[in-house]
Amino acid sequence: MEKAFIKKETVRFQHVDFAGIVFYPRFLEMLNNIVEDFYSDALGMPFKNIHKTGGIPTVDLKIQFKKAARLGDVLTKFFWVKKFGSSSMTCGFKFEHADGSLCLEGEVSLVRVEFNEARDEIKSSPFPDEMRKKLEQYVIPDLRF
């Protein structure tokens, strides 16, 4: 995948259930990890800074589980931008096993928001121009598996 953001993650004991396979909510945590890494590494916007005045809540999530992952497996996680508007973006993701087989795939919609100092008001906020330029580097609009 030419323009995808890529990270590896080893399945740890904390991820698995009694059967030794990843308990499905742990995959959502792994997804959030790659979103955080994408913002930090690709966009230069670590969450420790972005959440001081706003954030990027998930507003829609679709996921299909294809093949179980087990303790010790190393998954390669791919994350890319399918499309983005003024303050929201739809991103694709997939996790692959070391042999290239598909573990899961899906898409997530994120919205850039800001809130007031009291944090009692929240509103969508347009992507700054510099951020838009960085996001454009990861756009793969029609990727199908």
pLDDT at 47: 86
pLDDT score, position 53:
67
d(CA 53, CA 65): 34
Q: Is the pLDDT of residue 143 over 70?
A: no
Given phi > 0 = left and psi -120 to 50 = alpha, else beta, which region is 72?
left
So what's the pLDDT on residue 127? 92
Tell me, yes or no, whether 109 lies in a domain.
yes
pLDDT at 116: 79
Task: Tell me which of 49-53, 103-107, 114-118, 130-134 is least confident.
Answer: 49-53
Per-residue pLDDT band for 102 (boundaries 50, 70, 90) equals very high
Q: Give the number of domains in the chain.
A: 1
| Domain housing 103 | 5-136
Question: pTM for this one?
Answer: 0.91
Is residue 144 in a domain?
no
Q: Could you tell me the two tokens for 96?
A: 């692959």
Instruction: Let me know if residue 143 belongs to a domain.
Output: no
Q: Within a domain: residue 12?
A: yes
- What's the mean pLDDT in 104-126? 89
CA–CA dist 58, 115 (Å, integer): 16
Q: Find the angle CA(34)-CA(36)-CA(42) to the nearest 5 degrees.
A: 85
Among residues 10, 43, 34, 29, the alpha carbon closest in space to that of 112 is found at 43
Whole-Å CA distances, 17 to 20, 58, 77, 128: 5, 26, 21, 42
Which pLDDT value is given to residue 144?
A: 58
pLDDT digits (tens, 9 = 90+) for 2-28: 589 999 999 999 999 999 999 999 999
Q: Within a domain: residue 78?
A: yes
The answer as to whether 63 is a domain residue is yes
- CB-neighbour burial class of residue 1 (10 A; exposed 0-12, middle 13-18, buried 19+): middle
**CATH number of the domain bearing residue 130:** 3.10.129.10
Taking a C-beta distance cutoff of 8 angstroms, is the pair 142, 92 a contact?
no
- Is residue 141, in this structure, part of any structural domain at all? no
Which H helix or E strand runs over 68? none
At 2 the pLDDT is 58
Please check whether residue 112 is in contact with residue 125, taking contact to mean a CB–CB distance below 8 angstroms: yes
Residues of the chain above pLDDT 90, percent: 78
Residue 34 lies in a domain: yes
Q: pLDDT digits over 49-91, tens only? A: 877 767 889 999 999 999 999 999 999 999 999 999 999 999 9
